[in-house]
Amino acid sequence: MVILIKPSLRKLEKLVFQGAFDNKTILHYTGDMFGIGCKVSSYEAIERIQRLKGKQTKHGFILLVPSLQWFEKEGIYIPDRLIPLLKQYWPGNLTVIFKCDDERFAHIAVNGKVAFRVPDDELLRVFIDLLEEPIISTSVNFSSLPPESDLKRLTTYYADWFDYAILPGNKNYPYNSQPSTIVEYISSREEKNQSGFDELKCIREGSIPFYAVKKSFEKPTILFVCTANICRSPMAEKLFNHYASRINLPYSADSAGLLPGGQSISTASMQLLLERGILEARDHLSKQITPEMIQGSYLVLTMEERQRDFLRMQEPKQVRKIFTLNEYVGEAGDIADPFGADLDTYRKTLNIIDDRIQRLIEKLKDTNFMEKDKS
């Protein structure tokens, strides 16, 4: 086995050009777990992996691709209903199975469906991009036994399983890593669908709870964030839900703050929202943002750039979904905190947030999967 630890782009390009990975098995790290894989076009290597694992079927083979944009580039159709979910969780540890009639993947398809994932690890995504084709991936283990997660054991006891190892560097790989959560998309038009609605079926619950995935599938969450979650972010949350419910927009809003929670909404914020008939403002109780909230949200929109930057630093894998509310709708700067100011200042803040929310909703209408499914 040739072990490549954090290889340079130039080295990988040279090896790919030489065809070094053709029909070769590859030990790789997805960002969460180790896997064995090969180029999807390497039929011999796929058969070898099946023999090594004692696999009798193609079930369990996941196709790793470099990005969500890869599908459009390759002309592979993603159901509109899935796009918000994939934008939320990719790159990440969610595998999604859906229909794919591309002949390049027919040999690993099961009942016309393929399991896809964009892995967390940046090096692996770069490598797949250089190969100009996906790689298949499956856990390193004999069928029915737990996956191997110890790198030392992988490079000793399982050394003859691999031709190459591509690893992201000398790091402490977690021993208790969980596999990806696997879900199957079942459209309303499929024979096995009994509900008449598009559905997600849990095939395997891994590191991402299925209830969170299902919630995101049914109604993606927009999370608004400010400092204490008592003035600006609850205004944004309540306004968004108010407008979204009126037009049946299939998104819901929540809000949180950077500080510990447990406080009621500010008196001025409540008064102004009640004037608009938004009675839910009376029940608001502030809460502190958590990593789980960020992972479970389609978008995280802050009131200030420093809040955005702090969250991006805390959750680097979620950077793609964290913006200020202003920048997401094409405006610069922050939405200032009115805390401690007079009612007129609060009213001006509410009017600014109202404008941004309405523009946000117009932007989200372009991805209104419910309307697209009806057409």
Q: Please spell the DSSP secondary structure of 80-138, one letter per residue.
A: GGGHHHHHHH-SSSEEEEEE---GGGGGG-BTTEEEEE--S-HHHHHHHHHHTS-EEEE
CATH number at residue 117: 3.90.870.10
Whether residue 353 is contained in a domain is answered as: yes
Instruction: Give the pLDDT confidence of 16-37 residue by residue, as tens digits.
Output: 999 999 999 999 999 989 999 9
47/127 same-domain check? yes
Q: Where in the sequence is the domain holding 274, given as residue range(s)?
A: 219-374
Whether residue 211 is contained in a domain is answered as: no
User: Looking at 182, 209, 240, which one is the last position of a domain?
Assistant: 182
Which one of 80, 334, 337, 373 is the catalytic residue? 337
Which one of 81, 117, 125, 232 is the catalytic residue? 232
169/264 same-domain check? no
112: left (phi over 0), alpha (psi -120 to 50) or beta: left
Distance CA 94, CA 96 (A): 6
241/332 same-domain check? yes
Looking at the structure of the chain, the number of domains it has is: 2
- Please give the pLDDT value at position 367: 65
Whether residue 367 is contained in a domain is answered as: yes
6/131 same-domain check? yes
Work out the mean pLDDT of the chain and round it to a whole number: 94
238/316 same-domain check? yes
Which one of 226, 231, 254, 308 is the catalytic residue? 226
144/258 same-domain check? no
Whether residue 232 lies in the annotated active site? yes
236/162 same-domain check? no
Whether residue 203 is contained in a domain is answered as: no
> Which positions of the chain have pLDDT values less than 50?
368-375
Whether residue 208 is contained in a domain is answered as: no
Whether residue 100 lies in the annotated active site? no
CATH number at residue 259: 3.40.50.2300
Whether residue 337 lies in the annotated active site? yes
User: Looking at 153, 182, 211, which one is the last position of a domain?
Assistant: 182
- Please give the pLDDT value at position 192: 85
361/223 same-domain check? yes
Whether residue 340 is contained in a domain is answered as: yes
176/232 same-domain check? no
Comparing CA positions, the residue from 368, 312, 273 lying closest to residue 81 is 368
171/242 same-domain check? no
Comparing CA positions, the residue from 210, 233, 220 lying closest to residue 289 is 233
Whether residue 202 is contained in a domain is answered as: no
12/161 same-domain check? yes
168/251 same-domain check? no
- Please give the pLDDT value at position 371: 41
